[in-house]
Copies of this chain bind each other. A is one copy, B any other.
């Protein structure tokens, strides 16, 4: 199910009409989702859930949510959709908690950057009865972000023309997957489905490796070197400015895949190093050309 994309396709998808949506975690992603659902008139009522009153107030003032609360149980009681937009490590416990306090018609989904750990935890919670069998969970990940974070940085169009990957449980919950797909399409995103393992392998390369590389580069340079830099270093290290806590979670929950792709990167770097050390003009030119081609095609 690789669904719909730009405007023409999107028009054919029925607009979702949620009665009550609970967004757990009203940071950049949760806040932007609220704004986008509001713009698409896809939800009648949006409740924001979080421990931080100030964040909830910002989200409400910005129109991302109608109401804020720290009480997850009450927030999900009447929700027909719960979207968990917290750091990765908190997703599964919150989803399990929500599942035990929502109705059976409710669909729970998330926006976590790694999927195997989350889906695995929920699957074992289903296995031992901690996750009610009637409640649907659909893992999700909108591939969108900014250097900045928090509800003040939220943007209505953050997901416009971005990709969202869903990792549904095998053979289960077709209706729930359709609903979550429609929700993301309402924000302007293109939705596709794959397994959690496939997602994590892909994102290790496309997102986690760039972060690791940017962080290593930023950590390498001393103050004098950084002072004598221009836009190149600033661009290359921009994402190293991301929240260390968020990234700790991401890198820890996807460690094996991240290690594997760091090793692939190290091979490419070693080749570049050798072509410089050996003054191998042809090899160096080929690598620089390939790098440019790949970048220009982004």
Contact = CB atoms under 8 A, between A and B. Distances in A.
A255 B277 contact: yes
A46 interface: no
A239 B291 CA distance: 10
B273 A230 contact: no
Interface stretch (A6-14, A47-55, A143-151): A143-151
A229 B207 contact: yes
Interface in A170-214: 202-203, 205-207, 209-214
Assign chain A's interface to a size class.
Answer: 35 or more
Interface string A238-276: 111111110110011001001101101111110111001
Interface string A131-174: 00000000000011110000000000000001101000000000
A234 interface: yes
Among A236, A241, A251, A265, the one with the most B-chain Cβ atoms within 10 Å of its Cβ is A236
A1 interface: no
Interface stretch (A36-44, A58-66, A117-125, A219-227): A219-227
Interface of A: 143-146, 162-163, 165, 202-203, 205-207, 209-245, 247-248, 251-252, 255, 258-259, 261-262, 264-269, 271-273, 276-277, 279, 281, 284-285, 287-292, 294-298
25 contacts: A143-B229, A143-B230, A163-B227, A165-B228, A206-B221, A206-B230, A210-B232, A210-B233, A210-B237, A213-B213, A213-B236, A213-B269, A214-B295, A218-B294, A219-B272, A220-B265, A229-B298, A232-B239, A236-B239, A237-B295, A238-B295, A241-B295, A248-B284, A252-B279, A259-B276
